[in-house]
């Protein structure tokens, strides 16, 4: 796992006996440079699959529950997603860089299948990073969700279902399609990829995504 400020000038004024200095005008504030391909983001050589209808632009967040950077980024991304325009479809994709990451992939997709992402997604991050709980195996995950009031039997049915297992496999394929090498990271329209290291911060990465959404919508 790997991983703007504008300076303001103060105007100095001074006066000598009998001398008045002219008022200096503040310099114009430069506008942020538009994101550049190959610098702030890159375009995929082969498009990744998308799951959205025509006229919509898909934005994918790649994350891992054990990643401290993802934990820090989650509130920012959640706030951004809630304000996204109607033509944007947001997807979260849990990564599995190793086989032992797969249970957490299936945890996310089980919450999604049960309609509990909004209720429990943030709580998973909090359990791992604030409460220092291990949620790496099926048994650890099931024990935790049961404490959240989720029916254990029903959870396990989804967790081991063909649909959830298939979504986890497709998530890994999408991770490879976007050439994700670290998280958190963001994909746009199956064609563009950005991240904190590329954009210099995850806050700016969201600005890059805004730019790429409009580019994708126009094209």
Confidence (pLDDT) at 12: 31
Confidence (pLDDT) at 134: 97
How do the domains of the chain map onto residue ranges? 46-58+66-95+183-219, 98-179
Taken as a whole, the chain contains a residue count of 219
C-beta contacts of 116-125 below 8 A and 24+ residues apart: 116/150, 117/92, 120/145, 120/148, 120/150, 121/74, 121/92, 122/74, 122/78, 123/148, 124/65, 125/65, 125/70, 125/71, 125/74
Confidence (pLDDT) at 54: 85
Q: pLDDT per residue over 132-179, tens digit each?
A: 999 999 999 999 999 999 999 999 999 999 999 999 999 999 999 999
Confidence (pLDDT) at 33: 77
Domain 46-58+66-95+183-219, CATH number (from 3.40.30.10, 1.10.10.10, 3.10.129.10, 3.50.50.60) = 3.40.30.10
Confidence (pLDDT) at 25: 54
Architecture of the structural domain at 98-179: 3-Layer(aba) Sandwich (3.40)
Per-residue pLDDT of the chain (219 residues; tens, 9 = 90+): 543 332 332 233 233 334 343 444 555 545 567 899 999 999 999 999 998 888 899 999 999 999 999 999 999 999 999 999 999 999 999 999 999 999 999 999 999 999 999 999 999 999 999 999 999 999 999 999 999 999 999 999 999 999 999 999 999 999 999 999 999 999 999 999 999 999 999 999 999 999 999 999 987
């Amino acid at each position: 796992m790997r991983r703007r400020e504008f300076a303001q000038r103060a105007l100095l004024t001074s006066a000598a006996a009998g001398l008045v200095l002219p008022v200096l005008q503040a310099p114009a504030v430069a506008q942020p440079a538009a994101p550049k391909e190959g610098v702030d983001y890159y375009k995929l050589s082969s498009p990744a699959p998308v799951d959205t209808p025509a006229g919509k632009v898909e934005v994918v967040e790649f994350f891992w529950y054990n990643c401290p950077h993802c934990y820090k980024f989650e509130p920012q991304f959640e706030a951004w997603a809630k304000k996204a325009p109607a033509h944007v479809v947001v997807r979260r994709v849990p990564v599995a860089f190793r086989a032992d990451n797969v249970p957490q992939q299936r945890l996310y997709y089980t919450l999604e299948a049960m309609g509990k992402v909004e209720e429990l997604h943030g709580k998973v991050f909090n359990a791992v990073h604030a409460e220092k709980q291990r949620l790496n195996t099926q048994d650890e995950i099931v024990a935790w969700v049961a404490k959240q009031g989720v029916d254990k039997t029903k959870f396990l049915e989804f967790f081991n279902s063909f649909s959830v297992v298939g979504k986890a496999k497709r998530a890994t394929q999408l991770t490879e399609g976007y050439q994700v090498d670290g998280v958190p990271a963001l994909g746009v329209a199956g064609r563009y990829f950005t991240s904190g290291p590329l954009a210099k911060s995850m806050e700016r990465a969201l600005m890059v995504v805004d730019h790429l959404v409009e580019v994708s919508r126009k094209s």
